[in-house]
Amino acid sequence: MYTDAARRSNSTRRFVAVQRLVGLLLMLFSLTMLPPVAVGLYYGEDTIPAFMAGMWITIATGAAIWWPARRERAELKIRDGFLVTVLFWTVLGLFGAIPLYVASDAWHSVIEAIFESVSGLTTTGATMVSQGIDDLPRSINYYRMQLHWLGGMGIIVLAVAVLPMLGIGGMQLYMAETPGPMKNSKLTPRITGTARVLWLVYSSLTLICALIYWALGMSLFDAICHAFSTLSSGGFSTHDASVGYFNSAPIELAVTFFMVVAGSNFALHYLVWERRSLRIYWRDGEFRVYLTLFLVFSVLVCAPLVYYDTYPDVYTAVRRGVFQLVAYATDAGFATADPTHWPTYVPLLIVLSTFMFGCSGSTAGGVKMIRLVLFVKQALRELQRLVHPSAELLIKFDGKTVPNDIVYAVGGFFSVYVGLTIMLTFAMISTGLDVVTAFSAVAACMNNAGPGLGSVNANMAGVSDTGKAILIFAMLLGRLEVFTLLVVFTPSFWRR
Amino acid sequence: MYTDAARRSNSTRRFVAVQRLVGLLLMLFSLTMLPPVAVGLYYGEDTIPAFMAGMWITIATGAAIWWPARRERAELKIRDGFLVTVLFWTVLGLFGAIPLYVASDAWHSVIEAIFESVSGLTTTGATMVSQGIDDLPRSINYYRMQLHWLGGMGIIVLAVAVLPMLGIGGMQLYMAETPGPMKNSKLTPRITGTARVLWLVYSSLTLICALIYWALGMSLFDAICHAFSTLSSGGFSTHDASVGYFNSAPIELAVTFFMVVAGSNFALHYLVWERRSLRIYWRDGEFRVYLTLFLVFSVLVCAPLVYYDTYPDVYTAVRRGVFQLVAYATDAGFATADPTHWPTYVPLLIVLSTFMFGCSGSTAGGVKMIRLVLFVKQALRELQRLVHPSAELLIKFDGKTVPNDIVYAVGGFFSVYVGLTIMLTFAMISTGLDVVTAFSAVAACMNNAGPGLGSVNANMAGVSDTGKAILIFAMLLGRLEVFTLLVVFTPSFWRR
Ligand SMILES: [K+]
Ligand SMILES: [K+]
């Protein structure tokens, strides 16, 4: 009885510690509303009160949450990681909506502002602004992209440090590969160390990206904003026409390049940088499959575009096809064309690619390339097993044997992901969308890709309020790799 | 070296034994063309030469295959079971097409006749006859339904005796539950024993079904034909309007009842009959889920039909809704309505039901209810595992613990099934169908359900020749529970 009481009291202490953390997080987040104020001041915009209001509300709430818990320093356990992760995206998503709702009437309701904010932080990049993004105050546009960029920072830590430890859908595979103390269940020191290194890589790449965009002809403002939304695989743009606005092949090439960079593992970028060797990329099995599949899918997308004369010449067909494939597949979601009416299977293939391509440890969404590979290998193994029922068949990846429990966790992850995709698609059909549009909207949000097909391609303002709520849920679900969010809804999670 | 040579020679002997079996099978199958001849004689139709031609070609080919191998009595091994099973459906499918192609110009090409024959034998029930089924000679219509019925006999043995032994996608779960010698790898005695018992159940139920149909007002001919295509979950009809032709609520009720019977486990029917206790049904976990899910789905289907006033009154909405749901879900595929333009999610839900409902050991297609249940349980377990990472979590079904390798085999089965559905859907889109129609056609054929949506609802004559070939492949793939067919294409299968 004594130990039980002690355990319970310890569990209460950890809840208080989570409360402290969320309070701190909010206060920290409130400070991110200052840069947009600076942008607003620089361009003489009337959005300053909105951002200040957002900041004060956020800081006050954060302080009120933090104050009663300020002395609690109980070590967090792995299980608390789920709660912190879920709260990070939901709470920040809510408070991030304040300046949008206050500053502009581009968002007609609270839910539209929350949609935009969550879409920003989850780096989904689907927008509620139906037209006139070009006319939005620059401070607002800057703020939208900054949400992307901050969300991207969160994702990298989530993907490289938190999820492997939580053991989400086989991601414990990557436990051994990140630095820091492994076997203990203390979250904080490990995450801090990994985060610092990866944020440096992320920030450096963003800086390089911005400079290149600027050099290729974007305005400095556009260059910074688009660098934010490229490296985060976000996809918000300062223009209704997205990257198509610039109408420049070199810019499209640069965006394509950095989308591919953002869609691959940032821990890998770190290694390459540390060891000064590009060969490290090619030695990574996931990265190899990622590039190879891009080649295969490029052909599958471009061949029908050329065959059916969708564009006046082959050059345009390939240019539009590859850009749009990479934009969807890396879940960045920029646009130079709308693939809705591209011939035969191409629109569906492009939507399907949003599930598949993102690498683990990237800012992309979806089920992640490594899981796809293990999934296919498991299927092939079942086939082998029929011929050799008594043989022990091992699954290897990158020369290492993958433990069976990881392979099966991947299977469980897939089933839940597919099941939820189907259920959410049905929910979206019920709100009045046709099957393909509904599916593409769910894929766009679950995979944090951004654009869907048809009426949910350029923006999602036309979706009903229920539909918007469903899609907000889908964005969070995808960003939290499904299980992190679902687990918080299970009774046994709260039975400590 | 000696043992290796001996093994190889043994393997050759088993091939020859398979050859002998296929020859015998063909000769036996040729005899099934005699009943249609009798029907033709009775109604004075000019189809007798066509059936006689079919019979002689089949018997001659069978004899030619059998003769050189007639003395080979090597015991077949489990692995040979794959080959026999695949050859059973493909070879009989091919030869079964002969009378159709010769007798009638309703089938415009060889591929259309093969489609019809394979659709018959796999109990898919999708037809190539675009109109005028009512005008077909009765001997032809009888023959079509008889193909269903024979296919159904094959499926029951396949499902209850062969697949569990082959270990397809977790079906070894049922190994322990069928009578006969278990641990040895000899196919023949086990199958013969099980088959005899189950065919008796199958035939008795068919007889009862025919009598009831007749009593409710069908002509004797229609009653026999529809009993054939009900118990086999086939779905061919002697009328363009399918069951809608009779316009009779009692008949629809009887068809619904027997579709549900055909969609559940025939080994269970046998047990109920043997022990004279209906409670055995309810004690079976798979059957309970099957009935419960019918209730849930009936509400999901009928509610929108009522809400959106699809039919003039609630009675008609429920009558049409439940019949069509059961027809699709049990993969029988009869029709009293076309659900293509039913409101919101209903058409897609009905197509989805074709994957889910059929029980193991039934004549229905799809992934089978038991696999669905284990699949969901595995997903929930992965969720539990996150909260209790070190606990050993067992999956139970019907009070028994399901071994992990079975759970994972189910996972592998699902992944391959979903993957192939997606790939075949893409292939069908390439032949010119829109996404929903293509998906529904693939679901209709893979799950051996029969009708799809839109242009592939009433018949599939409008599909291109490539599309027809793809769908024939899909029907075989589904009927052979995917793995049986795929495994024959793996190199290691042939490396003995
Ligand atoms: K995105
Ligand atoms: K059928």
Supply A406's token pair. 């990881």
Residue B182 has pLDDT above 80, yes or no: no
CB count within 10 Å of CB B50 equals 25
Of all ligands present, the nearest one to the C-alpha of A232 is 1
Lowest mean pLDDT across A155-164, A287-296, B116-125, B259-268: A155-164
- In chain B the first and final C-alpha atoms are separated, in Å, by 15
Output the pLDDT for position B187.
Answer: 52
Judge whether B454 is annotated as a binding position: no
Q: Smallest CA–CA separation between A411 and chain B, in Å?
A: 6
Q: Ligand 1 center to residue A307 CA distance, Å? A: 30
Judge whether B411 is annotated as a binding position: no
A258-278 burial: b if 16+ Cβ within 10 Å, else e: bbbbbbbbbbbbbbbeeeeee
Interface contact A418-B418, CB threshold 8 A: yes
Q: Which residues of B touch A408 (CB under 8 A)?
A: 378, 382, 404, 407-408, 411
- For chain A, the farthest-separated pair of C-alpha atoms sits apart, in whole angstroms, at 79
d(CA A77, CA A74): 9
Q: Ligand 2 center to residue B214 CA distance, Å? A: 22
Can you tell me the mean pLDDT for B338-343?
Answer: 94
Q: Quick one: which of A262, A258, A284 has its CA closest to A271?
A: A284
Under a CB-based contact definition with an 8 Å cutoff, are residues B55 and B34 in contact? Answer: yes
Interface contact B389-A426, CB threshold 8 A: no
Under a CB-based contact definition with an 8 Å cutoff, are residues B484 and B415 in contact? Answer: no
The chain B residue lying nearest A431, using CA atoms, is B344
Interface contact A379-B79, CB threshold 8 A: no
Output the pLDDT for position A225.
Answer: 96
ipTM: 0.86
Q: Alpha helix (H) ranges present in B132-284?
A: 138-157, 163-166, 188-215, 220-231, 249-262, 266-275, 279-283
Q: Quick one: which of B260, B271, B263, B371 has its CA closest to B323?
A: B260
Output the pLDDT for position B164.
Answer: 72
Supply A141's token pair. 């546009």
Residues 6+ apart with CB under 8 A from A222: A213, A238
Of all ligands present, the nearest one to the C-alpha of A330 is 1
pLDDT confidence bin for B93, thresholds 50/70/90: very high
Query: Which amino acid appears at position A351 of this protein?
Result: V
* Torsions phi, psi for A401 (to 5 deg): -75, 130
CA-only gyration radius of chain B, Å: 22
Q: Smallest CA–CA separation between A199 and chain B, in Å?
A: 27
Supply A27's token pair. 């206060």
The chain A residue lying nearest B352, using CA atoms, is A422
Output the pLDDT for position A1.
Answer: 44
Q: Ligand 2 center to residue B328 CA distance, Å? A: 8
Q: Quick one: which of A261, A369, A262, A255 has its CA closest to A319?
A: A255
Interface contact B416-A388, CB threshold 8 A: no
3-state secondary structure B409-443: HHHHHHHHHHHHHHHHHHHHHHCCCCHHHHHHHHH
Output the pLDDT for position A179.
Answer: 38
Interface contact B386-A413, CB threshold 8 A: no
Q: Smallest CA–CA separation between A125 and chain B, in Å?
A: 26
Beta-carbon pairs below 8 A across chains A and B: 129
The helix or strand, by DSSP H or E, that contains position A143, with its residue range, turns out to be helix A138-157
Residue among A379, A407, A490 whose CB faces B383 most closely: A490
d(CA B209, CA B453): 28
Indicate which of B79, B386, B405, B406 best probes the interface with A, i.e. most A CBs within 10 Å of its own CB: B386
Under a CB-based contact definition with an 8 Å cutoff, are residues B54 and B22 in contact? Answer: no
Of all ligands present, the nearest one to the C-alpha of A235 is 1
Residue B176 has pLDDT above 60, yes or no: no
Question: What is the signed CA dihedral for A13, A18, A22, A23, rounded to 10 degrees?
Answer: 10
Supply B198's token pair. 């189950």
Q: Smallest CA–CA separation between A197 and chain B, in Å?
A: 27
d(CA A327, CA A226): 13
Sign for the CA dihedral angle at B31, B36, B42, B46 comes to negative
d(CA A277, CA B404): 43
| Burial group, residue B147, by CB count within 10 angstroms (0-12, 13-18, 19+) | buried
- For chain A, 496 residues long, the average pLDDT of each consecutive 10-residue run is 60 83 91 94 92 94 91 78 87 94 88 95 93 90 95 84 71 51 46 78 95 96 96 94 94 96 91 87 91 96 95 95 96 94 94 93 91 87 80 82 83 87 95 93 95 91 94 94 84 74
Output the pLDDT for position B172.
Answer: 65
- For chain B, the farthest-separated pair of C-alpha atoms sits apart, in whole angstroms, at 79
Of all ligands present, the nearest one to the C-alpha of A237 is 1
Judge whether B184 is annotated as a binding position: no
Residues 6+ apart with CB under 8 A from B48: B37, B40, B41, B139
Q: Ligand 1 center to residue A124 CA distance, Å? A: 4
Indicate which of A166, A415, A466 best probes the interface with B, i.e. most B CBs within 10 Å of its own CB: A415
Query: Which amino acid appears at position A393 of this protein?
Result: L
* Torsions phi, psi for B400 (to 5 deg): -105, 150
CA angle at residue B456 from B455 to B457, to 5 degrees? 95
d(CA B353, CA B289): 13
Q: Smallest CA–CA separation between B395 and chain A, in Å?
A: 13
Interface contact B386-A352, CB threshold 8 A: no
In DSSP terms, which residues pair with B397 in a beta bridge? B400
Tell the residue number behind the tokens 């249940």, with chain if given: B373
pLDDT in tens, B423-461: 999 999 999 999 999 999 999 999 999 999 999 998 998
The helix or strand, by DSSP H or E, that contains position A261, with its residue range, turns out to be helix A249-262
Instruction: Assign 3-state DSSP to chain B and report helix, strand, coil percentages, each to 5.
Output: 70, 0, 25
| Burial group, residue B272, by CB count within 10 angstroms (0-12, 13-18, 19+) | middle
The chain B residue lying nearest A404, using CA atoms, is B408
Q: Quick one: which of A274, A329, A269 has its CA closest to A296?
A: A329
Q: Where do the domains of chain B lie?
A: 2-185
Residue among A387, A435, A486 whose CB faces B435 most closely: A435
The chain B residue lying nearest A168, using CA atoms, is B386
Of all ligands present, the nearest one to the C-alpha of A234 is 1
Q: Ligand 1 center to residue A303 CA distance, Å? A: 26
Q: What is the DSSP letter of A160?
A: I
d(CA B158, CA B147): 16
Interface contact B378-A411, CB threshold 8 A: yes
Distances (CA, A) of A420 to A353, A414, B466: 17, 10, 33
Q: Smallest CA–CA separation between A487 and chain B, in Å?
A: 6
Judge whether B124 is annotated as a binding position: yes
Interface contact B387-A430, CB threshold 8 A: no
Q: What is the DSSP letter of B449?
A: -
Interface contact A412-B167, CB threshold 8 A: no
d(CA B356, CA B353): 5
Residue among B378, B429, B430 whose CB faces A412 most closely: B378
Q: Smallest CA–CA separation between A379 and chain B, in Å?
A: 5
Binding site as annotated, residues of A for K(+)? 123-124, 234, 332, 448
Under a CB-based contact definition with an 8 Å cutoff, are residues B232 and B258 in contact? Answer: no
Q: What is the DSSP letter of A46?
A: T
Written as one string, the DSSP assignment of B310-356 is: -SSSHHHHHHHHHHHHHHHHTT----SS-GGGSSTTHHHHHHHHHHH
The chain A residue lying nearest B79, using CA atoms, is A387
pLDDT in tens, B22-68: 999 999 999 999 999 999 999 999 999 999 999 999 999 999 999 99
Sign for the CA dihedral angle at A138, A143, A144, A150 comes to positive
Supply B468's token pair. 């027809």
The helix or strand, by DSSP H or E, that contains position A397, with its residue range, turns out to be strand A395-397
